[in-house]
Amino acid sequence: MPHRKADQPKCKSTTQLIHIADEFVKQDDGKNQDMETLLQECIDTLVNYQEECKKLRKRSSQSQQSSERSNESIFETYEAAYVYYKIVSQLVLNKIPELPEFMHAKNHAETQREKGLIDLYNMLVKTLLTDEKFAEIRKFIKEHSTSETPAAAKKKQIAAMSNTDSAWTNGQSVSPSRLSTLMSNHKVLLIDLRPRIKFIESHIKSETITCIEPISFKNTYSDIELTRRSLITSPAREISLFKERDSFDYIVIYTDELDKTHFSQQQQASLVELLVQRSFEKPLHDAKVLTLQGGFEGWIKNGGEYEGSHHKEDREYAMEYSIPPLKPQKASLMKPAPAPLSSTFSLTTDVNGSIGSEDRPSPQILFPDQRPSSLQRTPSFRDRLSSMSPISRTMSPSQNAEPIMHNNSTIYPETPQLMPSPSNRSLPQINFERGQFNSHLKSLSPPLLNGTPLENGYGRALMRSTAGANGNGIYKSAGDNDDQVIFNKPVSGFCVGLVNLGNSCYMNCIIQCLLGTNELAQIFLDDSYKNHINLNSKLGSKGVLAKYFSQLIHTMRQKAVPASTAGQKNLIKGDEKNAVQPINFKVASGSINPLFKGSSQQDCQEFCQFLLDGLHEDLNQCGGNPSLKELSEEAEKIREKLCMRIASSIEWERYLTTDFSVIVDLFQGQYASQLKCKVCGRTSTTYQPFSVLSVPVPRGSRCDIIDCFKEFTKIETLEKDEQWSCPQCKIKQPSTKKITITRLPRNLIIHLKRFDNLLNKNNIFVSYPNVLNLTPFWANDFDGKLPPGVTELPTRGQIPPFNYNLYGVACHFGTLYGGHYTSYVNKSSPYGWCYFDDTSWRKVKNDHEYITTNAYVLFYHRTPTSSL
């Protein structure tokens, strides 16, 4: 008989574990600790963390029958690893940066000791941010920790509301009339949890009130993170009030009760929990945290006093920073293109009997007998390619390869217009049965896998092809050329410099290069990106990063001299007085990732990945979908028998059910990493999305970009201690690894890996052309075999040839921590190629100036061809 859930051991919650880590860090407060001592403490604790990770790896490799005792031991190991990581994180990101010694060493490193300490600090930061195991640990703990059920929370709320005792309790709701009494007799801090634009228009009349935007914080924040990140751009008087929150008798939070998405109410509950349980900087020993019944609307209905903001800076602030409420727009009906379908398919309607095409999610293509992933989410492009070994050589494409993918369109790109659809509608169930057909299936997009499924696990898996999708986005078929959105239309050219905010040239050069991507600039200049912000995206910033990126682009265009009115002199070089300070965008970036918070030099390609990653998550129409299930061993065997052309296409369709945004459409590709046993020939292949492709730079005096791709795709024989544990042989065997590029994106960003693991730089001159042909490196191994039940897959632009035009070059001079970044960008007519060096810019002196030995990141745009 199965055990009851109540009898099963549980992990401590992440809140409890964070508190343990914070208490450990705080116990040394007041001691005269120097930077070297704290760094040594970080290293010692990091070693402990790595030891716990080794234990977890060892346990995962053992196939033991789990018992309650072994479960408890596993939980303890996960908890210890989590706490050790958080201790290092607190020391590195919060405590050490506050030391005067750190500030001096960072800005004025004079001695070898100071330089060594800063180098060590930077290595620790890099170690934390590139650690891949912690995400698995955090996910495991969240899945196995005790949490309050919704029913219990509701019961607690009802009990609190019925409490007539004068002694208020945290989380209790207070009526508008009682709040008025409290404000007359006690010291009350009001927190307006609505968008600032609404706060400025009208709010409860009080001298002790502050506004916190609902989208500005996550439910995992502590009060320290709330102060440093969410309030970073708030008026000084509001920040001061919040910092004095422990001096008030009551803190009352109110929000917008008319919010139909209930996001504001969820954030209100999160803020109450944050102030009560995670107030580490200012513990609330006496102050009670309450909420207002009915929110601001309830206050108005009960005759409460309210007012608009009378502060001039508030008005200016609202004009610059606030965004209108984000509401999903009704998707316009797209004209479906006829798709050849087998008569073996049928489509059943949802529970309401509706089959409207705008309700349809993209079908999720699954392999048989998928099992839930125990620890990790399906890999996304944020898992950096640079951390992996360059490992394979692709097969030469066959010139006579038979085309396998149906395509009716000659227009590229073919990826869909993003249109949110209501998430509360039931999903259609797709059944694959013999002898049945429903014409409504043609409206589904992208095209489904067609054909007659065999009576095996693969066919049964296809019957579950919609599992996990929730209808957040509508895909457009590769064959749909009516009402097609063509992103590749030129943006009116503008050139303007960016102010260096203390070693922020790494950021400036990437912004200038990305603005050379016309399609990306367009959606932020016309504000269409707002239609696609997904507040439910699990990994997004609730639109904060996208919002500030858009504001920066708008400001740059406003400050630039329009090309249409500029004189000949203004088309040759820019006036530094017009340069834009990207301070708000940098603050927003630093609030999301502490690596970019300070004034230390960073790697521009890491910032590029961070920015594309962050924008993708903000605009990810499927960001709230459940994670993909991990393939079973049987499913993996079936996939390994498929050619990469087919397997990679299926994996890409699966990936799009959890990651679908305009960033995916514009920048993301895919590569296959394959392990092969040299004894029995067994293979294991993983398919990895990427947005920045990192290729190794060979040693020597000079090389060509093609040499880098050859190095990237060559076969690598694994060393003895890295050998693959072959599931067929049951032991570690001599093995090889290779990488094959399986999907080339519309805009290809190539990172030249000039730095080794010890941060030594390879300054070899890498020759790169204006027109780059990567067709020979694209997997073209179709063998004529399709999996059971499949007759075609959407092309999604994957039709050779793959020719690219160069449009941007990010350059690096010096070392990683003591260098400088500039950029060359093709701004099109009338500017042409321009050189950007922070505040200054100019046209290039000759046609080859941008082919430079200092090239570090290259930006290419795919050339449309007649075959597309």
Whole-angstrom CA distances from 136 to 18, 43, 379 are 16, 22, 12
| Cα 222 from Cα 77, distance rounded (Å) | 24
The single-letter code of the amino acid at 278 is: R
Tokens matching residue 298: 């309830």
The reply to whether 311 belongs to the active site is no
Residues 6+ apart with CB under 8 A from 663: 612, 615, 616, 619, 691
Yes or no: say if 392 and 716 are a contact pair by the CB < 8 Å rule: yes
Q: Label the pairing between strands 250-255 and 173-174.
A: unpaired
Q: Which of 360, 379, 372, 363 is nearest to 467 (CA)?
A: 363
Whole-angstrom CA distances from 65 to 359, 370, 830 are 45, 22, 70
Helix (H) or strand (E) holding 557: helix 544-559
Q: Which of 495, 505, 604, 811 is catalytic?
A: 505
Could you say which DSSP state residue 807 is in?
A: E
Neighbour count for residue 203 (Cβ, 10 Å)? 20
Q: Which of 78, 225, 222 is nearest to 144 (CA)?
A: 78
The single-letter code of the amino acid at 472 is: N
Tokens matching residue 598: 């300070």
Neighbour count for residue 178 (Cβ, 10 Å)? 15
Sheet strands (E) in 697-758 = 702-704, 716-717, 724-725, 732-733, 735-743, 747-753
The reply to whether 505 belongs to the active site is yes
SS (H, E, C) 337-350: CCCCCCCCEEEECC
CA dihedral 172, 175, 176, 177 (to 10 degrees): -120
Sign of the torsion angle spanned by Cα atoms 359, 362, 367, 373 = negative
Collapsing DSSP states into helix, strand and coil, what is residue 322?
Answer: coil
Q: Is 118 left (phi over 0), alpha (psi -120 to 50) or beta?
A: alpha
Tokens matching residue 799: 């039709």
Yes or no: say if 338 and 429 are a contact pair by the CB < 8 Å rule: no
Q: Which of 656, 660, 655, 688 is nearest to 672 (CA)?
A: 688
Yes or no: say if 337 and 357 are a contact pair by the CB < 8 Å rule: no
| Cα 671 from Cα 167, distance rounded (Å) | 61
Sign of the torsion angle spanned by Cα atoms 196, 201, 202, 207 = positive
Q: Label the pairing between strands 429-432 and 345-348.
A: antiparallel
The single-letter code of the amino acid at 320 is: E
Q: Label the pairing between strands 735-743 and 209-211.
A: unpaired
Tokens matching residue 856: 């570090």
Q: Is 451 left (phi over 0), alpha (psi -120 to 50) or beta?
A: left
Tokens matching residue 368: 């048989």
| Cα 189 from Cα 299, distance rounded (Å) | 16
Which residues are registered as beta bridge partners of 306?
204
| Cα 466 from Cα 470, distance rounded (Å) | 9
Residues 6+ apart with CB under 8 A from 302: 175, 176, 177, 294
Sign of the torsion angle spanned by Cα atoms 253, 259, 262, 267 = negative
For the annotated catalytic residues, the residue numbers are 505, 820
